[in-house]
Structure 1
């Protein structure tokens, strides 16, 4: 059974995702799909619209066969570590033959040439990166600028002209870098992203819209039914179900009270120990707090933003504070060692067969719940804590909701 791996957030699963999934099977000549999916908090430093079990069910009903959770230690990181954690999980399954990701360009050849040259971080690239950062631009802008200059110096004008600054192209490069660094035999493929950009808020097609636009539509409408033209029927059904339970519109403002409690009760030095808090950001935060007119997330974010501190970087930094993610625990040295388990969130009948194979082929233990495991694995404990923090954003959370990782079995479909 040839198997393709995909790396997803499904926030929520929509028609564009369904297209990507079906085309991934086709161009890789695969029979099954293993999806590595972010849990409750995402790469841009945001809470997911819906909880991870609902999104796993969306994935399975949309055509995935096994859904594996990308731990929050990686899911809320910048592109390098998000990609590395996800690729390492696909590699560890022992059953994934190909990786297919979407990109704005759809052209994988220049990305592969760059990945081969940059995989082991040559000194010349590090010097270019430092030079770009000295100009005061954001880290993503500095990275794309340094890549262009490095590839121009390497005599590859096609790669030097490649639009690395586009978000899916950036992630694609980091997936390839991760495969190179892992020495993986997984074969990479890329599909061109069509009709809706990654963070496009406007809707310009009758059936395809970005997840960002769909979330905006859901937030501004009385009912998720407004998303119907842009999502499969199964996604709409699950959106309606969670909406009826008061759990279908999770966003940052629901977590503002928890966040502000930490911001006002911890010193600048204490804030400085959290992941992504650097270059004096902790002092900037403390200075801004008395100037705010309300204890809401958006006004805080707007006041903190600068050319260097982009919205995404700030969201990840504030999320690290909310979740208590310590710099030492999530250091590059620790992240490089990779995840120590494969947490299964759901599977299909075909996925059940894949899991049987994985029990002999996987390089890591397969975990179906946190019970009896989390206390011995600090990264799995971070996922348990993330679930508790996420559930506290619901108006009617129960103790069982807070500790659902210990009780919930993987989602299955027939």
Structure 2
């Protein structure tokens, strides 16, 4: 029987570093095929993807992924803990994924496994330590890292803190915690990241740039030409097509009018109902709106940011407001139930064989045609697609509603 490795990705857009990770994952795990769980149109950092989920699915399939599944929006636009939980749960419920390989700065699994074993049960001391860190003014990611490090096995808190200051190590820790909580038989592996760092704003030497740097190049004066050295020719061709057909690039500022229409028509109580609007942020937003030096999302983010709130958290909050995501529909009790379906975005011939096996082994419904399945989480995905389409350079109604009729990509 073939073995399949699971990857958790955004591919925003896919680049040479992603291809390296994909190839290393197959090599490290000895897997025959690759299943990727990919965020849809809005991403973990609270941003829209620069090109559609369909274009990014095509990139993945062209470069060696066999089956692409969509991470529901309910989990894609979330802090690391729930992003990881939704993605790992999706892989777990396929019934065909044997291993999970994630990129990390450390390249070492053992220290992360030790921490995951300790934190999976959510010890009361962890929650207390997080609250103490938050009270001192730390952001949630920094508070979690410091609290988790204090509980490190062998009292190596300094080493654990250094480990968790790296974003991919932290994501990896949450993947491992999710595997524990699900009681999953999926075996974890990690591949050390090479080249650019996760948040590097500019490309370094060599052919690998971070996705952050790549997006900066793509949105700059030289656009596709400047970004070309850092991605495979197949990916570049897809981007060129999306640019030419005016379906891309898509970026947060394109939603300025829609977002501000939401903000200026809401009372504090109405704003407070949206996801990640916490601790009085609704008042801070409404106070700053009349004082903005210009009508832009970037000016708003600059005005409301503090040491306590990372830009990523604030961007996710604004995305929840844009998409009408209310807190009551994404409570921990709801999110811990996991995704309620497995949405197929695309596959190769080998991926089609995996799908056939999944139909026998999966513990969730497999959704190939979104119009044939109903669930609140899927409704959010469909709404996200419609809003996303409004941010394209040349929107049209067929693109807005393509989730209802578009078949999976086949390569």
CA spacing shift, 1:132–1:347, aligned 2, 3 Å: same
1:195 aligns with 2:191: no
- Could you tell me whether the CA contact under 8 Å between 2:150 and 2:157 is conserved in 1? no
1:105 aligns with 2:103: no
Higher mean alpha-carbon deviation, 310-319 vs 203-212, is at 203-212
1-side partners of 2:225 and 2:404: how far apart? 32
Deviations 1:269-290 (A, max 9, x none): 1000001000100000000000
Q: Secondary structure at the match of 1:56?
A: helix
Query: Aligned match of 2:404 in 395, 403, 406?
Result: 406
1-side partners of 2:331 and 2:273: how far apart? 11
CA drift of 1:395 comes to 3.5
Q: Which residue is equivalent to 1:61? A: 62
CA drift of 1:126 comes to 1.6
1-side partners of 2:253 and 2:338: how far apart? 32
Deviations 1:121-176 (A, max 9, x none): 01122221111111111000000100111116x54558535420211011000000
Map residues 177-256 of structure 1 onto 2, 5 A cutoff: 177-256=177-256
2-side partners of 1:270 and 1:253: how far apart? 23
- Could you tell me whether the CA contact under 8 Å between 1:343 and 1:367 is conserved in 2? yes
Q: Which residue is equivalent to 1:337? A: 337
2-side partners of 1:278 and 1:160: how far apart? 29
Deviations 1:341-371 (A, max 9, x none): 1100000010011000000010111111211
- The number of equivalent residue pairs is 410
- Could you tell me whether the CA contact under 8 Å between 1:69 and 1:345 is conserved in 2? yes
Return the TM-score normalized by structure 1: 0.97
Q: Which residue is equivalent to 2:71? A: 70
Deviations 1:156-212 (A, max 9, x none): 558535420211011000000000000001000111111100010111123110111
Q: Secondary structure at the match of 2:303?
A: helix
- Could you tell me whether the CA contact under 8 Å between 1:25 and 1:31 is conserved in 2? yes
Q: Secondary structure at the match of 1:25?
A: helix
Return the TM-score normalized by structure 2: 0.98
1-side partners of 2:310 and 2:189: how far apart? 30
Q: Secondary structure at the match of 1:96?
A: coil
CA drift of 1:223 comes to 4.1
1-side partners of 2:349 and 2:243: how far apart? 28
2-side partners of 1:52 and 1:400: how far apart? 15
1-side partners of 2:37 and 2:18: how far apart? 14
2-side partners of 1:401 and 1:160: how far apart? 46
CA drift of 1:222 comes to 4.3
